[in-house]
Structure 1
Amino acid sequence: MKLERNGAVFGAVVFGAVAAMTLTACGSDNNAASSTVDTSASTALCDGKDKLSGAGSSAQKNAMDEFTSTYIAACQNKGKSVNVAYNPSGSGDGRTQFIANQIDFAGSDSAIKGEQAEQAKQRCNGNDAWNLPLVFGPVALAYNLDGVDDLVLSGEVVAKIFNGTVTTWNDPAIAALNSGTELPDEKINPIFRSDSSGTSDNFQQYLEASSKGAWTVGAGSDFKGGVGEGAKGSAGVAQAVASAPGSITYVEKSFADQQKLAIAQIDNGSGPVELTQDTAGKAIANAAFKGSGTGDLTLDLKSIYGSTEAGTYPLILATYEIVCSAGYPADTSAAVKSFLTSAANEGQQTLADQGYVPLPESFRAKINESIAAIG
């Protein structure tokens, strides 16, 4: 695999590879119901236009496949034929296409904000665009270290690994978190996303919130740590770690599982926490919102990333569906609401099998309120 050293110049956003299947550039276009979910109680009305289009985050691609197949099945039960085509072209591209009115909704690992939010407002006929966090995926600290299966790290130590302060696996800072574990005197090789990535943005926001000041270079879709080697896409970094002993990366759990990589526990100050559905779900259930929590549901990520609550796994990637709060044509509005209603409810049932974290009940209630309020 070709790796790119940090400092190389990258042009347009390169979209990430996705797990478990080969994709074509035209994206997902499921036209047959293959869902195993019981959709008989679906509250989706299946009204509005028959076909919806979306693009953006590659991290949510497998979830979007589940949502689409479940929605098709739910609407077939009502005697209606529908479809959703989703292109995993990257979060930045999704936001751009949404602003340009080329798609009905965007998937993004970062909330739309600032100048882009103002541009989206024009697309929505003067109405705000809402960020609805519908897909959560835990981000694994995946590593390749022979003989070390139960590594424990903290936000501070992870920041020092990815900024080049901690360079060997037996560094005293790592040893202090791993009492009784024999750590090799081996160079650490950090692997980062070389393409513009919402995962990089969220990972670096986590480091800002949890590293006790060790991470000083900020966040953003491009990795800013200044050390290590880059690989493109989620699949790319996972494959790079699998082939390079001594390496570590940040990647969605499903990609780490696919490569059979070891995953570090995180000690957020209350003891080591393993990455599980329960520990990640606890972090989501405790999340706060930047606004009132009505309509737009942009998350206050510090409430997740900076949590010191026992048993909480704090490194979570939230993927938003970006929609117009109002201003859609009537048939588009009805279809968007119908699809998202299905996704937020019966669509969550199989997400755990895909490596995601289903929405906790209290959080799902908030999502349903916002979907119902789309004009």
Structure 2
Amino acid sequence: MKIKRHGAVIGLIAAGALALTACGSDSNTPQSGGSSGAPAATGTAQVECGGKKSLVSEGSSAQKGAMELFIQQYGQKCSGQQLAYTPSGSGNGVKQFNGGIADIGGSDSALKDGAETDAAKTRCQGNPAWNLPLVFGPVAVSYKLDGATSVTLTPEVLAKIFSGAVKTWDDAAITAANGGKALPAKPIVVIYRGDESGTTDNFQQYLGAAAPSAWTKGAGKKFAGGVGQGAQGSPGVAEAIGAADGTIGYVEWSFAQDKKLNMAKIDSGAGAVELTAQSAAAAIKEAKVKGEGNNLVLDLKALYASKAAGAYPLVLATYEIVCSKGYDADTAKAVKAFLTVAATDAQSGLADAGYVPLPQEFQNKLLTAIKAIA
């Protein structure tokens, strides 16, 4: 079955409505990431189904394909239980959760201390919200450049491209990154997310960590490079990259796969690394938890700045934002059931959909947090 990622809303999927068979995107989808040396989570878990029949979730478009798998497995595991997911972007996910519209918010960035965490605490009846990193997805640096079959870029060159300092494909810095081979003499057209996006936030965090002297624009959900053309959502970015020669942009691996976009190799100092499930999983082990208790906020700086051979460091984590306490009993029960299924049974299909299955250590921490939701 081919996963479709371009609808505005993933509908209410009832139990048994869809049979989960071979979930893939394109014929060249990656093999399981479990062989990378970072063990992937496996197995099933005991799930206490019931509670609210129709959960509502909204947010990150980066996790849309993963949510499709989670919803399918949830419907099969818990008969009659449903969840509707709207992939409207991380900014909207936070707003809809904090506004009490969404039971679960999806965001590629954890809640920011201050206004966002304060609003979440109010929404959760005076209790803190937790950020649970449920989906790991590589971000592809995709491009369309007629006459070039392979492109390697360093973090410094990427920072200069996305800040406008490098303007043409035959720039000396790009030539050097490609072993002295000059690319076509064409203008570079940067494509970025025009809406508020956790993918943008993570991409800019990556540039700041991996190339601090070349990227001085900071991070945040709004693109700060000051160059290029904005596109709406991940589907819009993928479409724009594929539509014109000379383009380059950042987009989740699953969308790059769907559109069969070219993907640049990244050389962080130990040689060019192609984006694969194995190279992304090799980088994830560098991620550390900096949040307290069951608020599993990650410190991605070590991951993004990694120069480890064979590791593709441009990987984002998508958080499910939930109330630690403050749901009514029926909602809490259903939220816990959905998240448990997503963290266990549903992980097996993620690699074929352009994501990296949870490392075992993250699965264990997630299940502890999920059980603690009250």
TM score, norm. by length of structure 1: 0.89
Aligned counterpart, 1:36: 20
Post-superposition CA distance 1:7-52 (Å, at most 9, x none): xxxxxxxxxxxx8344245x43112432437999542211322221
Partner AA of 1:36 in structure 2: L
Could you tell me how far 1:164 is from its partner in structure 2?
Answer: 1.0
2:318 and 2:342 mapped to 1: Cα distance?
13
* Structure 2 stretches lacking a partner, 5+ long: 23-41
1:194 and 1:234 mapped to 2: Cα distance?
10
1:324 and 1:211 mapped to 2: Cα distance?
36
1:60 pairs with 2:59: no
1:261 and 1:22 mapped to 2: Cα distance?
16
For the 8 Å contact 1:208–1:215, the answer to whether it is kept is yes
For the 8 Å contact 1:37–1:350, the answer to whether it is kept is no
2:222 and 2:155 mapped to 1: Cα distance?
19
2:263 and 2:291 mapped to 1: Cα distance?
34
For the 8 Å contact 1:42–1:74, the answer to whether it is kept is no
Aligned counterpart, 1:252: 252
Identical amino acids, percent of aligned pairs: 53
Could you tell me how far 1:224 is from its partner in structure 2?
Answer: 0.9
| Secondary structure of 1:364 counterpart | helix
**Alpha carbons of 1:226 and 1:24: their partners in 2 closer, same or farther (altered >3 Å)?**
closer
Partner AA of 1:251 in structure 2: V
TM score, norm. by length of structure 2: 0.89
1:262 and 1:24 mapped to 2: Cα distance?
25
Partner AA of 1:154 in structure 2: T
Aligned counterpart, 1:208: 208
Partner AA of 2:55 in structure 1: L
For the 8 Å contact 1:63–1:354, the answer to whether it is kept is yes
| Secondary structure of 1:237 counterpart | helix
| Secondary structure of 2:125 counterpart | coil
Partner AA of 2:88 in structure 1: S
Deviates more, 1:95-104 or 1:179-188: 179-188
1:330 and 1:141 mapped to 2: Cα distance?
43
Post-superposition CA distance 1:292-323 (Å, at most 9, x none): 4x300111121221112221111112111000
For the 8 Å contact 1:285–1:363, the answer to whether it is kept is no
Post-superposition CA distance 1:59-85 (Å, at most 9, x none): 112211110110111123xxxx21111
The number of aligned residues is 351
Where does 1:1-375 land on structure 2 (aligned, <5 Å)?
20-24=4-8, 27-33=10-16, 34-36=18-20, 41-76=44-79, 81-113=80-112, 114-179=114-179, 181-292=181-292, 294-375=293-374
1:49 and 1:139 mapped to 2: Cα distance?
34
| Secondary structure of 2:78 counterpart | helix
- CA RMSD for the aligned pairs? 1.9
| Secondary structure of 1:318 counterpart | strand
| Secondary structure of 1:89 counterpart | coil
Could you tell me how far 1:291 is from its partner in structure 2?
Answer: 2.5
2:145 and 2:124 mapped to 1: Cα distance?
50
